[in-house]
């Protein structure tokens, strides 16, 4: 394949200029409210990736995992064993396994108490609330209270919320929102079963 080397140079130069311009225009430093939602894969992994970066910078990370599953256990082990990471798992399996709304609400409240403790403790730089969106969707917690606590957080604290079906009001309030969208999935389209390492 032949390509004009000058055209490549112009293209890469344009990319670089666009990126530098955007970065230069962005001056404000503040803690971000980040939401990873959508029905695709990678919401929690992307959050845990940010968590690892926080730890890599010597900063302190808190994680509350609102729904415990077989999923992400390797990432949990990696993060949870780090001295600067406070990792709390609440709940006893997926809520649709327990089918007891009162019990699920108590479980969610325990998770929220841990979240409040971390959010109000100035030693934390980032708090990840894994699968909080599901808990909010089932209305196990009061959305208004959650949003009020997020809005009143310390200026430099990052909060990361994951889970499908993020409430509209949370998306409104968030600084950074990503949607993970499944384009093709082997369960549905090819009869391929859940694979070790990929799905669990």
Which residues in the 40-69 window bind its own copies by CB under 8 A?
40-50, 52-57, 59
Taking CB under 8 A as the binding criterion, the range among 6-14, 84-92, 114-122, 147-155 that sits at the site for its own copies is 6-14
Do the bridges between strand 85-89 and strand 126-130 make them parallel or antiparallel, or are there none, so unpaired? unpaired
Residues 6 or more apart in contact with residue 13 via CB below 8 angstroms: none
Select from 116, 147, 149, 180 the one that contacts its own copies (CB under 8 A).
180
Residue 178 near residue 42, CB atoms below 8 Å: no
**133 is a contact residue toward its own copies (CB under 8 A):** no
**DSSP reduced 3-state for 93:** coil
Do the bridges between strand 126-130 and strand 158-162 make them parallel or antiparallel, or are there none, so unpaired? parallel
**191 is a contact residue toward its own copies (CB under 8 A):** yes
Taking CB under 8 A as the binding criterion, the range among 14-22, 84-92, 109-117, 146-154 that sits at the site for its own copies is 14-22
| Nearest Cα residue to 68 out of 97, 41, 42 | 97
Select from 80, 121, 138, 149 the one that contacts its own copies (CB under 8 A).
138
Distance CA 174, CA 113 (A): 21
Q: Which lies closer to its own copies via its Cβ, residue 18 or residue 113?
A: 18
CA 85 remoteness from chain centre: 15
**93 is a contact residue toward its own copies (CB under 8 A):** no
**92 is a contact residue toward its own copies (CB under 8 A):** no
**112 is a contact residue toward its own copies (CB under 8 A):** no
**16 is a contact residue toward its own copies (CB under 8 A):** yes
**165 is a contact residue toward its own copies (CB under 8 A):** no
Residues from 67 through 86 that contact its own copies (CB under 8 A): 72-75, 77-78
Q: Which lies closer to its own copies via its Cβ, residue 20 or residue 120?
A: 20
**DSSP reduced 3-state for 37:** strand
**109 is a contact residue toward its own copies (CB under 8 A):** no
Taking CB under 8 A as the binding criterion, the range among 11-19, 83-91, 109-117, 145-153 that sits at the site for its own copies is 11-19
Residue 123 near residue 61, CB atoms below 8 Å: no
Select from 154, 165, 169, 187 the one that contacts its own copies (CB under 8 A).
187
Q: What are phi and psi of 60, to 5 degrees?
A: -100, 135
| Nearest Cα residue to 69 out of 49, 91, 101, 45 | 91
């Amino acid at each position: 394949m032949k390509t004009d080397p000058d055209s490549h140079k112009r293209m890469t130069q344009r990319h670089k200029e666009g990126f530098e311009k955007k970065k230069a225009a962005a001056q404000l430093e503040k803690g971000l409210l980040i939401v990873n939602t959508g029905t695709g894969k990678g919401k929690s992994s992307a959050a845990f990736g940010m968590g690892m970066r926080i730890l890599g910078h010597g900063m302190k990370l808190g994680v509350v995992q609102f729904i415990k599953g077989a999923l992400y256990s390797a990432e949990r082990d990696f993060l949870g064993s780090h001295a600067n990471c406070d990792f709390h798992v609440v709940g006893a399996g997926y809520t649709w396994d327990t089918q007891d709304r009162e019990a699920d609400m108590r479980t969610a409240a325990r998770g929220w108490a841990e979240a409040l403790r971390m959010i109000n403790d100035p030693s934390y730089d980032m708090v990840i609330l894994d699968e909080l969106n599901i808990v909010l969707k089932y209305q196990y917690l009061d959305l208004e209270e959650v949003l009020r606590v997020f809005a009143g957080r310390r200026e430099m604290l990052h909060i990361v919320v994951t889970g499908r079906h993020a409430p509209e009001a949370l998306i409104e309030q968030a600084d950074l929102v990503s949607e993970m969208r499944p384009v093709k999935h082997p369960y549905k389209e090819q009869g391929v079963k859940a694979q070790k390492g990929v799905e669990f």
